[in-house]
Amino acid sequence: MKVNRSLGLTLVAAALVTAYGCGKEEPPKKAEAPAATTAPAMAEVTVKIGHAGPTTGPQAHLGKDNENGARLAIDDANSKNIVIDGKKVKFELDAQDDQADPKQGTIVAQKMIDDKVAGVVGHLNSGTSIPASKLYSDAGVPQISPSATNPKLTLQGFKTTFRVMANDVQQGSVIGKAAVETLGAKKIAIIDDKTAYGAGLADETEKAAKAAGATIVAREYTNDKATDFKAILTKIKAKSPDVIMYGGMDAQGGPMVKQMKELGIKAKYIAGDGVCSTEWPKLAGGAAENQYCTQAGLPPDKMPNAKDFVTRFTAKYGPIQVYAPYSYDAAMTLIEAMKKANSTDPAKYLPELAKISYGGITAKIEFDEHGDTKNGAITLYQVKDGKLEPMAVNVAGKTEKIETASAAPAAAPAPGGTMAPAAPMKDDMKKGEMKKDETKK
């Protein structure tokens, strides 16, 4: 068949255009790399830890001291970017003012429970800690007190209740024996403020003093709001005691020792940790000079890991009053238990808390079957030049004096710490082992 030449040429040209795209041949394109993908950000959760203590009223300086210890722990934990159960945890302090009042203590305890706190550091006082502990137990929320020393707190059978300092069985024993063996007392008068803490400490002191051979010539009572003690002290003066012991707080302990001096009472004065704050000598207006008190713990410069804490705490908040280091350890212990359990759920981390062994700044944190620390200590202080000077430390029934710088090389004081070099022990302070506590926890 005859084909039209013109049409054939047209078809060939069209085919060439199709094949070469009206231009020079382009090399085949390289396969594009897949677009980079961004890993999803790690989920972050906020976990609340409660703190309860008096931040208003005459005990506010003690409550704020504890709160600031817990706050510094929260800051330190957050700086470590802790991951629990695959989530970055941001800890938040839920701080409440319990006004050192038992009723208010239960109110703020319920508020923190309603706020879904994962654990509680507190309370400051035994009188608030004990009623609040029932609420925490019912809600399954772990509670660690850094300062409530009444033995009853941990003897109620609650699995959620712990403390990180010695209790008043140990503290009262040390006070009673020190009154006899260090201060040389044969006759002792005792005053307490009728609170769970003050009365409990006074009771334990009375037992120990009697066991050491002293006679209790007076047992008087006041309250934790009082400021005038002259009527009580006048009655006591007539009994000619060698030592007056007070179970209560520094807001009363300061004016009390001042009024002792005004009345011409020559007896020595000794009190427990509620009085033994850096504020006490100031509240006493100089009358606390050469008088005595105890704290349920070691001096900061004798704590195993507290040097850095003391430096940072005093720079940020001022001098340590009493228990800020223990409050720090309480918060850190809760967090450590959460890490070990890989959970912030109280029901899941509580078993880890009960069996924890954690190197705190104050001591190794371990609890017995009641929730008491296994490593409690008591320090005896004397006021010298308006400052608390540690004289002796009692651990597990053994008392050792703290050497002066002239007697032996002393540990360097913690920077910014509140404790001055130790004063010499009196000759009648027995070295080494004291009699074992007659009263068990």
Helices (H), 81-123: 102-114
Give residue 301's pLDDT. Answer: 87
Token duo for residue 157: 């059978």
Instruction: Report phi then psi at 244, rounded to 5.
Output: -110, 125
The residue-averaged pLDDT of 58-62 equals 96
What is the greatest pairwise CA distance in the chain? 150
Closest residue by Cα to residue 180 from 438, 428, 401:
428
Could you give the C-alpha distances from 420 to 165, 179, 192, 300, 426, in angstroms and in order? 22, 22, 29, 11, 18
pLDDT, tens digit (0-9, with 9 covering 90-100), for 105-156? 999 999 999 999 999 999 999 999 999 999 999 999 999 999 999 999 999 9
Over residues 169-191, the pLDDT tens digits come to: 999 999 999 999 999 999 999 99
Sign of CA dihedral 322, 61, 80, 367: positive
Segment 291-319 shows an average pLDDT of 95
CA distance 99 to 95: 12
Q: CA nearest 371: which of 357, 354, 356? A: 354
Mean of the pLDDT values across residues 412-433? 33
Sign of CA dihedral 239, 241, 246, 250: positive
Rounded CA-CA distance 258/288 in Å is 7
In this predicted structure, what is the pLDDT of residue 20? 39
- On the question of pLDDT at 324 being above 50, the answer is yes
When pLDDT is cut at 50, 70 and 90, the band that residue 331 belongs to is very high
Picking from 422, 378, 410, 418, the residue whose alpha carbon sits closest to that of residue 178 is 378
Confidence band (pLDDT; 50, 70, 90) for 336?
very high
| Average pLDDT over the chain, rounded to an integer | 87
Residue 230 has pLDDT above 60, yes or no: yes
pLDDT tier for residue 42 given thresholds of 50, 70 and 90: confident
Where does residue 116 fall: left (phi above 0), alpha (psi -120 to 50 degrees), or beta otherwise?
left
365-390 tens-digit pLDDT: 999 999 999 999 999 999 999 999 99
**Percent with pLDDT over 90 in the chain:** 79
> Residue type for 78, please?
N
Confidence of residue 37 (pLDDT cuts 50, 70, 90): low
Looking at residue 40, what is its pLDDT? Answer: 65
Whether residue 410 contacts residue 403, with contact meaning beta carbons closer than 8 Å, is answered with yes
- For the segment 341-361, the average pLDDT, to the nearest whole number, is 98
Question: In sequence order, which residues have a C-beta less than 8 Å from that of residue 212 and are 6 or more positions away?
Answer: 176, 177, 179, 180, 181, 435
Domains defined along the chain, listed by start: 44-166+302-365 (3.40.50.2300), 169-295+377-401 (3.40.50.2300)
Show the tokens assigned to 263: 């009345």
- What is the average per-residue pLDDT within 55-71? 98
**Cα–Cα nearest to 421, from 403, 439, 441:** 403
| DSSP SS3 for 32 | coil
pLDDT score of 190: 99
Tell whether the model's pLDDT for residue 426 goes beyond 60: no
